[in-house]
A and B are shown apart, each in its own frame.
Chain A
Amino acid sequence: MKKFLLYLACAGLVAFFVTVLVLGKDLKVTKQYRDFYIDHTVTKWKYEEK
């Protein structure tokens, strides 16, 4: 039983890793984020002063 539970935990972790990789493989970011952090087409981050 203990072995089964350990294998179940392993399978759970693998499923978690695969889920994160599948979910995250496509970027769902704002244009500003993509321009600055990914494509580097802008050199200044625009923000609202508080």
Chain B
Amino acid sequence: MNTTPHNERRRDFLEVDVPKALLCTTGAMSVLYFLVLTFLFRIGNPFLFALLIAGEVYHVWQVLTFIYTTWDTSVLPTPRATYTPPVDVFITVAGEPVALVEETLTAALSMRYPSFTVHILNDGFVAKKENWRDIEALAAKTGVHCITRTIAGGAKAGNINNAMRLTRSPLVAIFDADHVPHEDFLTKTVGYFADPKVGFVQTPQFYKNYATNYVTRGSWEQQELFFGPICRGKNRHHAATMCGTNMLISRRAIEEVGGMCTQSIAEDFITGMFLHERGYTSIYVPEVLAEGLATEDLLTYSKQQFRWARGALDVIFRYNPLLRSGLSWPQKIEYLASASFYLSGIVVLFDLLLPLVFFYTGAVPVQISGMLLAAVFLPYMFLTLYTIERASNFTFTFRSLGFSMGAWTIHLRALISAITYKKASFQITQKSAVSGRFTELVVPHLCYIALGAVGFVVALLRSGWSASLLNNTAWVLINTAIFVPFVVAAFPRGAHETPEPRRKRRLPVSQEIRYGELPRN
């Protein structure tokens, strides 16, 4: 068991305690706010009103589904400790540094469990990675079975499916090359499969490098909310999210759904849904049992976000849970709730546009007089924030909020890509920092700030000082403040980056790394 000084970081986000009264109040306030906004004010510009209401429907949905998910986070079946079938342990590799793989491999071999076999799933060859032979050499040196694919296809899912065909154990543990398992990983997860209905067991995706720089901290802080209350809450509905690493799956279940899904870049998420559809249950074990690496720069972070967003949006547009008869209604809601998070791009865009439209045209979505809206909105907002804080055991930060909302451009791109069924490439998640400034990624944010500043002057010249002008200015300032963490992350020096020079290398921002064409990890 790891005993670093930061152990509390591994536990804090998993300690969830939200009073139900708080959840009820927050839910009621969100609905009240929506009703007040929708029905109590005179409609201004109908188009803007429609945009506003669409955004608010989304916000209320987000709040209510969060409450629904986190209503009871205590559900966790008891594993049977005596159940110890053989396990195949897969370490998926596609060009990661040998030292990184070796660390994971060594940890996997050190796991305490009666019967398990470690396999390296080496995709370096098909990914045209220079070090694919080094990986084979590492496997030979450590006496580990190495499965090197020679025919590309299906990305990571294809790699796993290929290995499934060549192995036999009833359970399969999967780790990405950088996710180092704890020695008790198997002893703490296998016992759940004593129940034959369990299709997979997922554990948190902890980033041991969270403290490396501004981006890693932001990435991890975002993850804490998901792997804390949200994943814990999904246990209640047997709707744990399959995350692709740090997990244990039932071979029988996976084979029943035709292997890992190779049709989407979110192969794990969708495979999990297929398992649930076939009646398998899932369990999220709220304990850090493996430790990986967060993205260390905004470019890599953006690519990862795009991949997650595109995959999640595929769930809505191609595999809509509502149309999948095998899922229970709670499972449908859970999948929709998770996937719809990535619709935030368009909603943030609506929210950003409203004050700008006022500045440049004077049009408003609703005619508001008095402070009724504030009287409802502020308690709603504060309660929501407090609920999130309580749910995440006070690990949710302004930076994670900034990262979530700052990524609106990425989510928007993913949405367009998903709607147009544009084929998405499997973007590599770099395990080392890419140096440089990523101004391109924050151009929309900087443009928004500039448009806001100019718009303020335009509106001032048009109609002078007014309550509406001040109010809209305040909204622009809020949006600007929220963008600050994301913009700061784009300029590493300003973000107090503390990179490890030996791992830094320069990569053009525009370079696309495609699975099967270029190295992946």
* A is bound by B: no
Interface residues, chain B, with chain A CB atoms under 8 Å away: none
